Each structure stands twice: as structure tokens, then as C-alpha cells.
Structure 1
Amino acid sequence: MPSALILIADGSEEIEFVTPYDVLIRAGFQVHSVGVNLKDSFATCTRNIKIIPDTTEIPSTTECDILILPGGGPGAKIFSSTDAVQHLIHSYRDAGKWVAAICAGTTALVASVKGGGKTEGLESTKKVKVTSHPSVKDEIVKAGWEYSEDRVVVDGKIITSRGPGTALAFSLEIVERLCGKEKRDEVSGPMVCVSTL
């Protein structure tokens, strides 16, 4: 059974957290959520919805198959400035595991490379083709990353997407990459969505 670790912070985008969580559960993943630097026992998201994560202990190891970073500007800033999250992104990339980021969450991936230049040749030092919410495009391009305006972009073991409206396509892409197209179709059919979003 594949497993996913999804982060959440105050100011994360609800749709971008809940959609992958829901879709991956439907696909048979074991999904774990971790709250990062929360003020309370719950995350207060961008539309004031409150979500209680499974834990607030950020793991130091890469036990899951994929690390997922939802967007929401304030939440993404927390991911970008939290050393334990940055270390986790490095660890997942260097272990050859998947990292997925949506919307402003891509900026946390970008920040991890800014701080990761000490060790040449490691996967965590490589800039790949990504996408994001349009509001953070300039920041990503200025940092030297190749940018695409496609709804979902996959480069190596990095999956990125644009925003709340692409959260379902993003989630189904994760399912396909880790479990195959047949599993994607099996999940998307009962959800009454087109599997080629």
C-alpha cells in the first residue's frame, strides 16, 4: 500500500489539502498529515476552515512514498522558512522519492534549493520544470527554475500544479504516477470526473 505525507500550516489552502487527502484515500494510500508551527491544535486555513492534523511532529525520515505541499500563501511561507520542512524536502528528493507541490506550495520547493547548494550533485540541489499559482510565478522564474503554465507538470519525481481549480487533476496525477493509470481510472470513475483533466 503506498503512503503519503501531507503538510498543513495556518494559512494553507483548504482545497489543496483536502482534495489530495481524499483522492489518495480512495486510491488505497495510507495518508498522514502533519501540522507545521500551528498556533492551536488545528490549522486555520485560508478560508477560515479549521483542520486537525494527525500530528504536529515533523518526521526526520522519509517513511512515506510521497511528500505533498499544499499552497496558500501564508502556509507556503511557513513551509519555506521552517528548517525541518526544508530538510524533509531535501531528504525526500535525495532518497529518490516523490515530492508534490501545488499553488504557492511550489515556493517551498524553490526555497529548499536556495538553501541546499552545499552538496553538489544531489537530487535536492537540482532545479526542474515546475508550475505554480500565477501570483508566485515571477519569484520562481527569478530563482532560475524552468516554468510551465500547464495545469499539472511532472519532471523527474517532482509533481507541481497551479491552484485550487487544479487540485483534482493534481491528486489524480499523483495516483497515476505512484499506482498506474488503471488505478487512476478506477478512482476517477466513481467520482464522476474525466480522468484526463
Structure 2
Amino acid sequence: MDVVFVLYPGMTALDLVGPYEVLAPQPEVTARFAAATPDPVRCDAGLVLAPTTTFDEVDRADVLVVPGSGRWGEVLDADVVAPWLRRVHPTATWTTSVCSGSTLLASAGILDGRPATTHWAVRDELAALGAEVRTDRVVVDGSVITAAGVSAGIDMALTLVGLLWGDDRARFTQLLLEYDPRPPHRAGSPETAPPALVERGRHLMRRR
């Protein structure tokens, strides 16, 4: 199974690395990292990742994984990923996104009139791009799976493992990862965080 992880400048590393750690160990999976050029890609917090192939060299995939970015506006303006997604998405069995990666799917026309989720600070932007925004952590609609912010990429990938190989495989993968979140604070969503922190977060994301 050919799983293509999308790289681009300014992407958020965990959006990609979380799903990678879930999907890549599956014995059926061959993972590739595709970018516009063969040059290393610097993530929004500075981590550098190396592509293994380029968009020009990838004309099909079984699974696409599209990460988001803390600077999603700049990424949309660059318009590098969306044209390639328009071309490759029809060949994919599953097209997935994490966080604001959903705005790239929407920019490519993949989410027109479809339910999708994203990072809470990007919901209005996703709606403006034609998606029917949901607040769920993971949304499955046909062959498209979208995940909410950053850490939800692990949930998305475990959901996909269950769809591909069954719930027992997904449970076993979760066990091996010891994915049993127990955060020290109940502030992981705008519904549970103090209002002052939510506003501070919105301000920071708007500045980005």
C-alpha cells in the first residue's frame, strides 16, 4: 500500500509525524514523502524533513496524508500543494488531512459541500472554502478523512487503520504506541479552555 505524506515549507511536524508513526509500521505500507522539490523542507517550528520524491514524480497513491501549518494563509497563497492534490486525489483510495491541512483539500475542491473538521481557529476559513465544518475530532466522509488540530492526526490514522485492516489491528497499534492521553489540564479545545486563553489563541493564530 503506497502512502504518500505531503511535505511543504511551514508545515507542522506533528501533523505528519503522528500519522506516520501509526501507518508506517503496518506491514502492508510503503511510505513516501513528497514535496514540490527534492530540497529539505523546514517545518513551522524549525524541524527539517527530507522528501523522498517530488510532486512531479507522483501521479497516484493509495493514501494521501496532508498536514496543516501554523501559517496556513501563506501556504494557501503559495498555491503549490492544491494543484497537485487536484491531480492525484482521484487516484487515491483515501485522502486525509490533519489540522489546517483541510484548507488545502478545500482549496483543491475536494471538500466542496462535504463535512470536514480542522483546527478550531480555522473553522471559519474552512467554511469559506466550501466545506461543511464539523467540530468532531475526526470526520469520515466517503474516501476523505479529516482530523482536527495537530494531535488529532493520531486519532485519524488509527481510524484509518481500523477501516483498512479492522478494529483489532487499530487497537493493537494503539497499544504498541501506548496512546492513552491523560493531559494535565482540561484545555485542549475552545469548549473546555478558559475563555481568555481561547481569545489569546485566536489572536496568535490570526497574527500567523
TM-score (norm 1): 0.80
Match of 2:40 in 1: 42
Match of 1:74 in 2: 71
Contact 1:7 1:36 in 2 (8 A): no
Q: Using a 3 Å threshold, how does the CA distance of structure 1 residues 93 and 139 change in structure 2: closer, same or farther?
A: same
State the alpha-carbon separation in 1 of the partners of residues 73 and 101 from structure 2: 5
Opposite residue 115 of structure 2, the aligned amino acid is K
**Which residue does 1:17 correspond to in 2?**
16
Matched, 1:178 2:176: no
Is the CA contact 1:70–1:105 (under 8 Å) kept in the aligned structure 2?
Answer: yes
Aligned to 2:117: 131
Which amino acid in structure 2 is aligned with residue 101 of structure 1? S
Amino acid across the alignment from 1:35: A
1:138 Cα deviation after fit: 0.5
Find the aligned partners of 2:49 and 2:85 in 1 and give their Cα distance: 23
Q: Flag the 1:167–1:70 CA change in 2: closer, same or farther, 3 A.
A: same
Tell me how far 1:78 sits from its aligned partner: 3.3
Distance 1:162 1:77 in 2: 20
- Partner-residue secondary structure (3-state), 2:108: helix
Classify the secondary structure of the residue corresponding to 1:149.
coil
1:92 and 1:180 mapped to 2: Cα distance? 26
- Mapped to 1, the partners of 2:16 and 2:77 lie a distance apart of 17
Report the Cα offset of residue 57 of structure 1: 4.2
Q: CA RMSD in A?
A: 2.5
Distance in 1 (alpha carbons) for counterparts of 2:12 and 2:152: 12
**Which of 89, 100, 106 is the equivalent residue of 2:102?**
106
Q: Structure 1 unaligned runs (5+)? A: 114-123
Aligned identity (percent) is: 23
Deviations 1:143-168 (A, max 9, x none): 33211111111011110011122121
**Do the aligned residues in 1 keep the contact of 2:63 with 2:92 (CA within 8 Å)?**
no
Q: Is the 8 A contact 2:19 2:154 kept in 1?
A: yes
Structure 1 position 37, deviation (Å): 5.2
Which stretch has the larger CA shift, 158-167 or 66-75? 66-75
